[in-house]
Amino acid sequence: QKEVEQNSGPLSVPEGAIASLNCTYSDRGSQSFFWYRQYSGKSPELIMFIYSNGDKEDGRFTAQLNKASQYVSLLIRDSQPSDSATYLCAVPDRGSTLGRLYFGRGTQLTVWP
């Protein structure tokens, strides 16, 4: 059973600040990592994925991966109130031939104006 750990928060930042969301995982052999955003009462929406060590940037979002430390993070620059949501970290099951995902509990982010 894989473990995916996230600080459940809540994390509260002012508008325009950088929000930093963290995730650790137990399987050292994991190769890919996904970040989903989930608004209250809605379904998860894929916003970022990362396969390689280092940083991956997409607009205001940056995913950072450190496989040696088994740590993946999501940075949101210039945070907006519309970014207020729960952010889920997900790791695929490396042992299966199909893409089962293991999710963390999610970190609730609030961006206040």
Partner 1 sequence: DAGVTQSPTHLIKTRGQQVTLRCSPKSGHDTVSWYQQALGQGPQFIFQYYEEEERQRGNFPDRFSGHQFPNYSSELNVNALLLGDSALYLCASSLGASPEAFFGQGTRLTVV
Pick one of 28, 29, 43, 69: the residue that binds partner 1 (CB under 8 A). Answer: 43
Which stretches of the chain are assigned E, i.e. beta strand? 4-6, 11-14, 19-25, 33-38, 45-50, 54-58, 61-66, 71-76, 85-92, 101-103, 107-112
For partner 1, the binding residue among 22, 67, 103, 110 (CB under 8 A) is 103
Stretch of 53-61, 66-74, 76-84, 104-112 contacting partner 1, by CB under 8 A: 104-112
Yes or no: say if 104 and 88 are a contact pair by the CB < 8 Å rule.
yes
- Token pair, residue 53, equals 């060590």
Q: Is 10 in the site for partner 1 (CB under 8 A)?
A: no
Distances (CA, A) of 49 to 13, 72, 109: 23, 10, 19
Among 25, 34, 47, 63, binds partner 1 (CB under 8 A): 34
**Given candidates 10, 12, 18, 42, which one binds partner 1 under the rule CB under 8 A?**
42
Q: Is 81 helix (H, G, I), strand (E, B) or coil?
A: helix
Our finding on whether 4 is near partner 1 (CB under 8 A) is: yes
- Per CB under 8 A, residues contacting partner 1 are 4, 6, 8, 32, 34, 36, 42-46, 49, 88, 90, 92-93, 96-106
